[in-house]
Chains A and B, each alone.
Chain A
Amino acid sequence: MPFESRVPAGAIADKWDNYKNSAKLVNPANKRKYTVIVVGTGLAGGSAAATLAELGYNVKSFCIQDSPRRAHSIAAQGGINAAKNYPNDGDSVWRLYYDTIKGGDYRSREANVYRLAQISNNIIDQCVAQGVPFAREYGGLLDNRSFGGAQVSRTFYSRGQTGQQLLLGAYQAMCRQIEAGRIEMYARREMLDLVVSDGRACGIVTRNLVDGKIERFGGDAVLLCTGGYGNVYYLSTNAKNSNVTAAWRCYKRGAWFANPCFTQIHPTCIPVSGDYQSKLTLMSESLRNDGRVWVPKKTGDRRVPQQIPEDERDYYLERRYPSFGNLVPRDVASRAAKKETDAGRGVGETQLAVYLDFADAIQRHGRDRIEERYDNLFEMYQRITDENPYEVPMRIFPAVHYTMGGLWVDYALQSTIPGLFVLGEANFSDHGANRLGASALMQGLADGYFVIPYTLGNYLADADPGSTPDADAADFRAVEDKAMDRVNRLLGLNGKRTVMDFHRSLGRIMWDHVGMARNADGLKRAISEISALHESFWKDLRVPGDPDTMNKSLEFAGRVADFLELGELMARDALEREESCGGHFREEYSSTEGEAVRNDDDFAYAAAWAHDDAGAAVHKEKLNFETVTLTTRSYK
C-alpha cells in the first residue's frame, strides 16, 4: 500500500465534507453482510462498535477486562473540549483547531486536526442525548471550564469523572446493540496477533483469559482501538492492563508505527512514594485553574509549606509565563517542574515534587465552591497521601500519562495494512508532539462516532459482501500456532526473575533516558541497556502457572516482551529526531533559557517506522502546513 496521507482536496474547512460527499457507500441491506472486528472498548472502540452496529454492520467487540465498561478511558478526569462557544468568549472551530495544532508543536497533520475541531460539537450533542450528566449552570444550560494551552473556556465536564461518564455513555450504547444482537461481545480476551491474508487485515487471534484457549476470529475489517503504550515506563497513570501488544503485533505484521518517542509527561500527578509503587495517580489538569504551583526560593528549604512566607516562594509558572501562568501546556509545565527539582528546590520527603496550592482559591471562592469543583480529586489525594489538600498544598510531580505516537494512519484512519483501521490513542494522528488537556476524549469519540462510520464504508464498498474470510483457513491456523508457541515459550523459561522485575528495570531505563529530557548519549545508552535486558528476559524470566487457566503473570509476560521491543524503537526514534518539540525535549536543542528549539526545516515530518526482520526502517511523511504559520510556541 502506498504511503500517502490521502488528505482530500479543497480548502481546509471543506475537506471533510468533500471526503464525505465522495466516499463510497454500502447499501443498508448489504451492511449486515459485513463483519467488523473492534478491539478495545474505550471511548474510541466503544463508540465505534455501537455506531457501526446501529448502522447495521455485524460487530464483534473484544476487551481484556471483564466488562467493556472498564476500559481505561474511564479514568479520564478533567473534561472534553468542543468549539461550541457557549460562554461567548471568542471560541470557534478555527481557534480549537489552531490551539490544538500549535499545542502539538506543529507535528500533526493539519487536515486531521481541523476535522477533529469540526466534529467536536457533534460529540457533545451526542453525549447529552445519551444522558451523560455534564455539569450545568443554574439556568439549566451546560457549564464550561478552562484548561491548559487555551485562553477560552471550552471544556465540558462531569465533576472530575468526565471520562467515566462519557465511557458509560458509549458502553450503554453498546449494551443496546448487544441486546439487539448486532454486537457480539467477547470480554476477557486479549488480542495476540493480526491475521493478514492477500495483503488485507481479515481477522485476529486472541487468548481467552479465563481458560487460556487461543481463538481465531475472521472479519472484513479490523479496528484497533487499544489505547496507548505509556506503561512501557512501568510507572505511569495508565491502568495496569494497558499495553502495546495488539498494536505491536500489527506493527510486526506490516503496520507502520509513527512517532513512537512522542510521549506526554503530565505535570500534575501524585509523586512516587516508594519502590513497591505499582502505578501513579493523576490529579486532573483542571486543578491548575485554581491551584498555584510553587517551590521555595531557597534550595534545600525543608520547612513545612505553611511556614514559608509569601516572599520566599517562587510561583515559577506565573513568573516565567505571565500570559498563561499556571495554565501553560503540559509539556511546558512538566519541564518547568523538572528544572526546579533538578536545581534542588523540590519539596517533600523525596524532594521530587512541587506544590500545587489552593489557599488563594479557597480564600477567593470559598471552600464550598472548591469542593463542588474538585472534591473527588481532593478526596483521592488524601486517601493516597494521608494529607488534607484543603489545609496543606498538594505535592505533585510529572508522570507518564499519554502517548501521542501510535500506528500510522491516513486521513481515513487506515494503517499501512489495508483493512486495519486504528482509532483513538492507538493511532498517531491528531496531537502531534504534545496533546492539550481535554482533547483525548474528544479524539477518541470523534474517531469512533463520526469518522470511522464514513471511512470504513468507503473501504468496505470495494470488498465483496459476504466474503468474510473463514477463520479455519490456513492463514489463521498459522497465526494461531505462532501465538501458541509464544505462550509455551514464555511458560518454558525457568529463570529467576519475575515479569514485574523486568518491567521495573525497563521502566527505569526509559524514565532516565527517554523521559522528560533526552540527549544522544543517554539514548544510545538506553538502546544498549534495553537490548541487554531483552536478551536476559528470554533467558532469566520465570512465568508461573499453566497455559490453560487464568494466569495474569503469563498475560503480563507477553506484554513486557513487546514493551522491551517498543522501548528500543522509542529510543531510536528519539535519537533520530534532532530537535526539541512538544513532549520530546532534546537537551542539545534548547535555548539558553531552557526552552525547546524546534527544527522545521529538517524535522517537520511524521516518522513512520516499518518493521522488517533486519530491524526497523524509517519513512517520513512530510507535514504540509497550508493554513498556519509555524511559529515558536510561546506561552509567555
Chain B
Amino acid sequence: MAKLMTIHLRVWRQRGPEADGRFVDYAVPGVNPDMSFLEMLDVLNEQLTLDSEDPIEFDHDCREGICGSCGLMINGIAHGPSARTATCQLHMRHYRDGDTIVVEPWRARAFPVIRDLVVDRASFDRIMSAGGYVSANTGAAPDANAIPIRKDDAEEAFDYAACIGCGACVAACPNSSASLFTGAKVAHLALLPQGEPERKRRAVGMVDQMAEEGFGDCSNHAECEAVCPKGISITAIALMRREYVKAVLG
C-alpha cells in the first residue's frame, strides 16, 4: 500500500465572468500517489460538498488525455510538470507529502473565465470555422486509394493533426498567441493533397481570425511546444507563416 500524502492546494476561485477572483487554500489529506490530479480534486470536491461549500468547477471529460477538455495551470506550468501530459493524465506520484500546489485557470484575453478553473475557448472553434477544413461534401469522394500519399507526408500531417485543442499553448505563451493551435491545423492540411485547393484561403482566414479573437502574435518563445500534451512542434508555426506569406503575396 502506497504511503498517503497531505497536499496543500491554493486554488483560483471566481464565481462568474464578471466577479473578482481570489486564491483559496485547501488541505487534502489521504492523497494516494496513484491518484490522478483530477481525482484528487474530486476528493476535495466531495469534502467541500459535505461541508456545504461550493465545489471547485473545472472542465474534464475523457480523462485519458485526448478530448482536450481539461487544462489547469499547475504551479505556473500549463498541464503541470510532466512533459507531453494533459492535466487528467498527471498523477500524484510526482508530488511529495506536504507539497503546496497553486492551481489556476488558463489566462488569456481570448479565453475569458466562466467560473473557477473553467474558461471559454469558443475562440478556437471560430478559428477552425474560418477555414480549418477541406470542403468535401458527403458522397463526392473518389476511391480512398485514388491519390497515393507518401508515407512520410501522411505521418507528418498526423503529427500536426494530433492537436487536442486544449489551449495549453495559449496559456503558456507570454503573448497569449494561438499560433501553435492554428499552425497545427494549417500544417496538417497543407501537407496533404486534399488540402491543396483551399490552402491560401485557409491560411489567411485562420490567421486573420486568430488576430480578431484577441490572441497575440508569436515571438518564438517556444513555450507552447514545451507544454503541448501532444508534443506538436513549433515548425507548425513556421509552416503557417510560410503559407500565409505565400497566400498574401503569391
Contacts and interface: CB of A to CB of B under 8 A. Distances in A.
A278 B39 contact: yes
B5 to A, nearest CB: 13
B158 A158 contact: yes
B100 interface: no
A241 B62 CA distance: 8
Contact of B194 (A74, A129, A135): A129
Nearest to A134: B154
A69 B49 contact: no
B206 to A, nearest CB: 11
Contacts of A164: 66, 162, 164
A134 B149 CA distance: 10
B211 interface: no
16 contacts: A54-B137, A66-B120, A66-B122, A67-B165, A70-B68, A74-B66, A125-B141, A133-B155, A141-B148, A172-B134, A173-B133, A210-B114, A239-B63, A383-B82, A386-B34, A549-B16
Given A67-B125, A159-B158, A172-B133, A125 B143 contact: yes
A250 to B, nearest CB: 23
Interface stretch (B85-93, B215-223, B239-247): B85-93
Contacts of A54: 137-138
A561 interface: no
Given A65-B67, A545-B54, A176 B93 contact: no
A310 interface: no
Interface in A362-397: 379-380, 383-384, 386
Nearest to A52: B138
Interface of B: 15-16, 32, 34-36, 38-39, 42-43, 45-46, 48-50, 52-55, 57, 59-69, 82, 84-85, 89, 91, 93, 114-115, 118, 120-122, 124-125, 128-130, 132-145, 147-151, 154-155, 157-158, 161-162, 164-165, 188-189, 192, 194-195
B46 A500 contact: yes
A130 B194 contact: yes
**B93, B125, B157 pick with most chain A CB within 10 angstroms:** B125
Interface residues of A, number: 81
Contact of A549 (B15, B34, B52, B157): B15
B59 A66 contact: yes
Given A168-B161, A175-B132, A84 B144 contact: yes
B229 to A, nearest CB: 11
Contact of B67 (A136, A239, A386, A496): A239
Contacts of B192: 131, 133
B63 A278 contact: yes
Contact of B188 (A66, A133, A239): A133
Interface of A: 47, 50-51, 54, 65-70, 72, 74-75, 84, 86, 122, 124-131, 133-142, 158-159, 161, 164-165, 168, 171-173, 175-176, 178-179, 185, 187, 210, 239-241, 273-274, 276-279, 281-282, 379-380, 383-384, 386, 449-450, 453, 496, 498, 500-501, 542, 544-545, 549-553
Given A240-B61, A544-B54, A553-B55, A179 B89 contact: no
A124 B50 CA distance: 51
B66 A66 contact: no
A278 B62 contact: no
Contacts of A47: 138
A493 to B, nearest CB: 12
A239 B61 contact: yes
A554 B60 CA distance: 15
A273 B34 CA distance: 7
Contacts of A281: 63-64
Contacts of B164: 164
Contact of A380 (B36, B89, B120, B162): B89
B138 A50 contact: yes
Nearest to A125: B141
Contact of B189 (A129, A131, A279): A131
Contact of A129 (B32, B38, B141): B141
Contacts of A50: 138
A125 B137 CA distance: 11
Contacts of A84: 144-145
B154 A136 contact: yes
Contacts of B195: 131
